[in-house]
Amino acid sequence: MDQVTYQSREVSAQSREVSAARDVEQLRARGERMLELATRAYCEQNYDFARLLTQLATEVFAHARDVQESHALCAAPSDGSLRAPRRHRA
């Protein structure tokens, strides 16, 4: 029974990893599209709209980075193996 529970947790973690990676990829693709639209708006001398799209794209890229970083933190081993070794006082 323990083995089944462990395997289902492992599959669930892998599923979340794939989902987070897909979300980050989708956010970045949307940010790039916003920048393309901003470029077009700028070329058509619609400067306010271009500025707004650029700002939104920046926010989307920041959100994608946050999602990626939070997933990396969640995926880190919980046993503390990434921590620096403690030094004992003599």
Query: What is the per-residue pLDDT across 13-46, written as a single tens digit (0 to 9) for each?
Result: 677 778 889 999 999 999 999 999 999 999 999 9
User: Does 49 have pLDDT greater than 90?
Assistant: yes
- The pLDDT score that the predictor gives to residue 19 is 87
Contact at 8 Å (CB) between 56 and 34? yes
Mean pLDDT score of the chain: 81
- What distance in Å separates the CA atoms of residue 54 and residue 70, rounded to the nearest whole number? 24
Task: Work out the percent of the chain whose per-residue pLDDT is above 70.
Answer: 67
Identify the pLDDT of residue 47. 98
Of 89, 66, 53, nearest to 20 by C-alpha is: 66
Lowest mean pLDDT among 20-24, 66-70, 81-85: 81-85
Nearest to 28 by CA among 73, 70, 58: 58
16 vs 25: CA distance, rounded Å: 14
Name the more confident of 61 and 16: 61
pTM of the model: 0.66
